[in-house]
Amino acid sequence: MQRNAQAILNVLGCPDGELSILIVDDPAIARLNAQYLQHEGPTNVISFPMREGAHGDLHPALLGDVVISMDTCARESAEAGMDMAERFLELLIHGILHLVGYDHVHSEAEANVMEAKSLELMEIVYKRA
């Protein structure tokens, strides 16, 4: 996981970026989803960027936190007929992309850019694993 995260950061031009990765179950991510995003129920990944807001420039290398639900990861990988490690990597990439400023919520164009970068990173990192 650490090697993959570092490879992702290297490709994104953030080799010195710092992040934390928290692995949780569905009840834990559902609580975070409700508390911080006002969404009900579990989700697969949530990112908490640290470079946003009034004090986002205090420690530019500190990217933030990525929280991944292994329950949802396992369910989604089974539904897609894919390896759970591959799905986990997809979620890790997705979370890190949010930390460095990519977004898929506000416009279709941004979503397309994020999806293209995600596929590029998957190809680079998954081949190395």
Q: What is the pLDDT of residues 61-117, one digit of tens each?
A: 899 999 999 999 999 999 999 999 999 999 999 999 999 999 887 788 889 999 999
User: Is CATH 3.40.50.720 what the domain over 2-128 is classified as, yes or no?
Assistant: no
Q: Where are the domains of the chain?
A: 2-128
| pLDDT score for 65 | 97
| pLDDT score for 54 | 67
Whole-structure pTM value? 0.91
| pLDDT score for 55 | 65
| pLDDT score for 53 | 66
Tens of pLDDT, residues 43-64: 999 999 997 766 667 777 899 9
DSSP the chain: -HHHHHHHHHHTT-TT-EEEEEEE-HHHHHHHHHHHH---S--SEEEEESSSSTTTTSSTTEEEEEEEEHHHHHHHHHHHT--HHHHHHHHHHHHHHHHTT--SSS-HHHHHHHHHHHHHHHHHHHHH-
| pLDDT score for 13 | 94
| pLDDT score for 83 | 94
| pLDDT score for 129 | 57
